[in-house]
Amino acid sequence: QSALTQPASVSGSPGQSITISCTGTSSDVGSYNYVSWYQQHPGKVPKLMIYDVSQRPSGVSIRFSGSKSGNTASLTISGLQAEDEADYYCNSFSTSSTRYVFGPGTKVTV
Amino acid sequence: EVQLVESGGDLVQPGGSLTLSCAASGFTFNTHWMSWVRQAPGEGLEWVATIKQDGSQKFYMDSVKGRFTISRDNAQNTLFLQMDSLRAEDTAVYYCGRGAGWWDVWGQGTMATVSS
């Protein structure tokens, strides 16, 4: 059972914006700006999309943005495209015995 | 080209051992924390272990503490994961990743299957 919670699925039409939530506690998301997001297409390697809550690595589309409020972090995908259809995982540093915790993943359908 | 290439995955019986390797190239290996992250078939990602640049600090997920050992050889640009007392629930694709807390470079993964 993941320490972070994410919706199992989110869907949207091409061109729309969607937001994926990642809810933790004051032991992880709420107290540290060490939240990252990963995109994984079926059978492929995970790809870093956002780190430190809202930082975008070089090469990642500006359509992807991250934010945080309290114990909940969010990933927003704007101008949804067919290629965005994938699983998305959040991760946070945690002061629990599990130092880095992942969410269960959210399947995005376009 | 920045690259991580894992190897060593295999089929092993419960209680057995396996050593995974991750060869790094294209970047200065000894300046980066390194980690292992796994993914069981059809499941999500799970952080396993992380090691500091010089190997002086190591962190593990609870269920592998005392059974898995992360190490590195900076002269050979290689990361290792020694896995002992393997259980069926350790069956997964094991990825090595560059970093600690967020991972910007991932290997292609190596499959470890624990089954009798």
Which of A78-82, A95-99, B6-10, B62-66 bottoms out in mean pLDDT, i.e. has the lowest? A95-99
Please indicate whether, in this complex, the C-beta atoms of B45 and A102 are within 8 angstroms of each other: yes
pLDDT digits (tens, 9 = 90+) for A37-85: 999 999 999 999 999 999 999 999 999 999 999 999 999 999 999 999 9
3-state percent breakdown (helix, strand, coil) of chain A, nearest 5:
5, 45, 55
The Cα B34–Cα B84 span in angstroms is 20
Chain A and chain B share a number of CB contacts under 8 A equal to 57
Which chain B positions have a beta carbon within 8 Å of A86's beta carbon?
none
Which chain A positions have a beta carbon within 8 Å of B1's beta carbon?
none
Pairing of strands A35-40, B45-51: unpaired
pLDDT digits (tens, 9 = 90+) for B17-69: 999 999 999 999 999 999 999 999 999 999 999 999 999 999 999 999 999 99
Nearest to B14 by CA among B74, B73, B88, B72: B88
